[in-house]
Each structure stands twice: as C-alpha cells, then as structure tokens.
Amino acid sequence: MTTRLGRSLCFLPMQLLLVGLGPLGIKLAADVYERGLGSIEAAVDVSPKLLGRSLLDLVPTSKSPLRVTGDLEAAGARGLDAAVVATSSSLVSCAPTLCTLLGRGMCVVSTCEELFWPWLRHAELARELDDLAKRCGGRLLGTGVNPGFVMDAFCLGLTAVSRAVDSIEVHRYQDATTRRIPFQKKIGVSLEEAQFQAQVAAGSLRHVGLGESLHFLASHLGWPVEHWEEDIAPVYASRDLPSGLGMVPTGKICGVRQSARGRVGGRTRIELKFQASLGLEDPHDRTIVRGEPELDVRIQNGVHGDVATSAITLNAIRALQKAPPGLHSMASIPMVHCAKAHA
C-alpha cells in the first residue's frame, strides 16, 4: 500500500524512556508493548517501592528484565526516540526532569496537566523550556484526555469549519459508577461536607486543567480573557447509590462538579462544565460552538479517561517528532491519531 499511495505512513518501533511508574506510567508501559509500538529502554522512578524492580514484574507483557532506576542522569538516552513523563500535575515538580531530557535534545511527551497550556500559570518557566528545547533540538508537549482533548483540542479542531465563533460551551459528564475505586475516592464519594472542603483546599480533590483548557481555546481563537473563574462543589446523591466504597445514601456526597468561565468583551464566551458522580444518567462529552455555522457535537457515553489518556500520550509522540524543536501545544503539531508500528 505504501508504494501505491506514494507515502509511507507506518513507523518503526519506538525505543522509549519512561519517567514515572505510578498507575498511569504502568498503563503507558503496558500499552507500549500490547499495542506493539516499541519498547521501554529505560524506566525511572524515585519511589523506594519501585527502585530496582524489573519491568517484567511491573508489566508482565513487557517480558523485559529492565530494572527501574532512580537516577535519570544515569539512564542513558542514546538512540532513544522519545521520553514519556508521567509523574505530576505540577509543572514546577516536573521541570527538572523535563530540563534534563530537553538538554539531551529529546522528544518529550508528558501527562503533566499544567504543561498542556503552561503559558497560563508558568509563563516564565514555559519560556525557559521553549528556549532550552530550541537550543538543544528537543521537543516538548503536555497532553492527555483532559486537559489535552475532550475539553480543548477536540473543541478547537471543530472550529476548522467555523466562519465565526461567538462562544464555546463544553460539557464533560461522567458516570463514576463503573470506574476504579481510586477514581471514586478522588471525586469525593462518601466524604462528609467538611472532608470534601478540606480536600478541595488541599488541592487533592479537583480536576486539574480547566483553566489550561479555557486559555488554550481563548488564545487560539484570538480572544483576550479579561477575567476567568473556576468553581467546585459536591454532588449529592438523589437516591441510594452503590459504589466501590459501599452504598452511598441519599443526600450524601456522590461526586464532584466543577466549572470554569472566561469573559471576553464583557461577557462569558467560554464555559467549561465538568461533572463526575455516581449514578449520572446519560454520560457524555459535548461541545457547543455558537457562531457560523452552529455546531453541537456529542460524544455518546463520553471518552473513557483511563484508556484515552495513555492512548493519546503515546499517539502524540509521532506527531511531536515531526514538529520543529521547541515547546508545543496540541494545536502546533501535526494531527495526533492512532497508528501502528511496522510489523
């Protein structure tokens, strides 16, 4: 086919460096092998529970005797195609790792939520990362399902057919009933009101990225944001609801609702609404672009977060490799899509 179609679109298996072997890192490593995308040639994590363990042990399908090391400096990068960093939502926490990898001229994709649109909270650091990448021939991208796709890149991509955009509204409504227990915990299921508020204050109970998604959209649409705000509130069970943490009685907290609004020209032109709760009926992702033409796009049942974040992170590597050196966003690289390696 590649000859007949005049271009080769398959790619060679990738040799990757993986930083961070928490649940998401493990999922990423498993997908690299199970999808036949290539292999992990270096695995780095500072957790004492992981140090020295073999990849075979953590990811049986890898069949790899590679040992987890705590020393990124010692983990060679020679000949590797890219690095995947799955350590933290905080860009400041990830920065030393990112700098080391970019200094080697590597192509780096990270699930760090703040890196999706780093110009919002860390403009100076973003500039430094961009400079370093350009100087050393490295490439850097933050992505994931959200931020990274359903509430931002997907929505902006829709406006390809827009003659004019007046406002954008995005919904992500997820039913947490069938999700993993850690996810149910993370969204506050079964917490008392005071516990919920304490966890919100501590930053452990919230979806990170609405502000990043909002500013990604605004910037590309050429809208100067005069003011933006984000709020978060518990969702209360309207009936007794089963969960991995036991039955949640009527009136108790069964999830979280979060929203962000951005004002441009004196009125709200971007509104993002996120909810994850038990027993949510008709879960879906939806983007409404008001303008010319009107666009109302619905992803039935929504995009499953656990599968999708690992998928888009790995799918993004090839697109990032084709982009020029520097700090990128999902809008500055060629189209990210599913693909397979050469057999």
Which residues in the 125-184 window bind a second copy by CB under 8 A? 126-127, 145, 149-150, 153-154, 156-165
Kindly state whether residue 316 participates in binding a second copy, applying the rule CB under 8 A. Answer: yes
* 3-class DSSP assignment, residue 120: coil
Q: Which residues have C-beta within 8 Å of that of residue 120, sequence separation ≥ 6?
A: 114, 211, 212, 215
3-state SS, residue 313: helix
Shortest distance in whole angstroms from residue 329 CB to a second copy: 9
Nearer to a second copy, 193 or 294 (CB): 294
d(CA 282, CA 267): 30
CB of 269 to a second copy, least distance (A): 13
What residues are paired with 262 via a beta bridge? 228, 270
Q: Is position 5 an interface residue for a second copy (rule: CB under 8 A)?
A: yes
CB-nearer residue toward a second copy: 187 or 327: 327
Which of 270, 142, 147 has the alpha carbon at shortest distance from 213? 147
Stretch that binds a second copy, among 54-62, 99-107, 269-277, 289-297 (CB under 8 A): 289-297
Helix or strand or coil: residue 153?
A: helix
* Window 183-222: residues binding a second copy (CB under 8 A): 215, 218-222
CB of 59 within 8 A of CB of 25? no
- Pick 164 or 201: Cβ nearer a second copy: 164
- Binding flag, residue 303, a second copy (CB under 8 A): yes
Q: Which of 308, 317, 320, 325 binds a second copy (CB under 8 A)?
A: 308
3-state secondary structure of 272: strand
284: its two tokens: 């879906």
Q: Which is nearer to a second copy, 141 or 241 (by Cβ)?
A: 141
Contact 272, 260 (CB under 8 A): yes
Shortest CB 127 distance to a second copy, Å: 6
Per DSSP, which regions of the chain are E strands? Answer: 14-19, 38-44, 68-69, 82-85, 107-110, 139-142, 164-175, 227-236, 253-264, 267-277, 284-292, 295-300, 326-328
Q: Could you say whether residue 304 binds a second copy (CB under 8 A)?
A: yes
Residues 13-32 binding a second copy (CB under 8 A) are 31
Considering the complex, state which of residue 239 and residue 340 has its C-beta at the smaller distance from a second copy: 340
Pick 46 or 299: Cβ nearer a second copy: 299
Instruction: Answer whether the bond into residue 324 is a cis peptide, omega within 30°.
Output: no
| CB nearer to a second copy: pick between 241 and 316 | 316
Structure tokens at 166: 């007046």
Q: Output the smallest distance, CB 143 to a second copy, in A.
A: 9
Contacts of 219 (CB under 8 A, 6+ apart): 117, 119
Angle, nearest 10°, between helix axes 91-103 and 123-136? 10
User: From the list 141, 254, 312, 317, which residue makes contact with a second copy (rule: CB under 8 A)?
Assistant: 312
Q: Is 340 in the site for a second copy (CB under 8 A)?
A: yes
Three-state DSSP at 66 gives: coil
Work out whether 331 is an interface residue with a second copy (CB under 8 A). Answer: yes
CB of 4 to a second copy, least distance (A): 7
The minimum distance between CB 72 and a second copy, in angstroms, equals: 27
# residues near a second copy by CB under 8 A: 72
